[in-house]
Amino acid sequence: MTVPTAVSQDPDRLQARIAELEQERRHLLAIIEILQEIAGSLHFSDIMQSIARRLGEAFGLDRSSIFLAERDGETARLVASFEDPSIRNYVVDLERYPELRRALRDGETVFIPDVELDPALMHLRGTFESRRVRTLTVIPITWRGAAIGAIMLRTFRDGPAFSEADLRFCQVVAGLTAKALRNAHRFERLQHRVGVPPISTRERERVALVGFMRRLLDEFVAREGPWSEGSLARASAEEIDRLVGVALTVLSQEASAR
């Protein structure tokens, strides 16, 4: 007996629909996590780095970067990078990034399904081959109809390609990024207007030190139970003093870097 075509296709359709729902669930969870993180900070650099990291982790990307447009229209500023969080506030020439320039100029998403076939990226073919890059996507960050920045994403050649749903998700994230930038800007202007100084390096040191010590002591007590410092030998006490000095130096450097 021959099975009707419509019936035989039902399992395939059901499986495809289940995959779509699972993808939607992952996207919604990622959006919630991004909202939670950016709601917890009004510092511009922290917000941008958090978004770049979340996108990079969500898709397993080769690169996830956020750029802000410069007034001259010839350059952009790299403000967050998933693959190297230490890179911040780095000026790039848009002549070397035609896809970024196009997204900022037109205010529309640029999607390149295969970077090796795009003639505008021929000068980067060697880099793309060595890093196994497949697709390149640039989503503009717009505010009041103008592109103020962009999110650049690169997928691996042996990884899943971006779907239409993935692109829509990234566009939603770009919209959230624009609003987060606006809120951070308003907060900074309000601080300036009412004369509230930004957090000083010394204050950052204090907050970092208190947080570090609280977590360290809580974790140690939970594992080892109460202890008596008086039982320490002189050599051990001197070593602890040395480590405290090292920790204070690291905290000072970390606070200055921010």
The reported pLDDT for the residue numbered 162 is 80
Confidence of residue 207 (pLDDT cuts 50, 70, 90): low
C-alpha to C-alpha distance for 190 and 184, rounded to whole angstroms: 10
CATH number of 14-194: 3.30.450.40
**DSSP 8-state secondary structure symbol assigned to residue 83:** S
Smallest CA-to-CA distance from 144 within 116, 93, 191, 178 is with: 178
Q: Is 75 left (phi over 0), alpha (psi -120 to 50) or beta?
A: beta
Confidence of residue 43 (pLDDT cuts 50, 70, 90): confident
Residues 68-123: tens digit of each pLDDT: 999 888 999 999 999 888 887 899 999 989 999 999 999 999 999 999 888 888 88
Q: Domain residues of the chain, as ranges?
A: 14-194, 201-257
The reported pLDDT for the residue numbered 13 is 80
Smallest CA-to-CA distance from 153 within 34, 54, 25 is with: 54
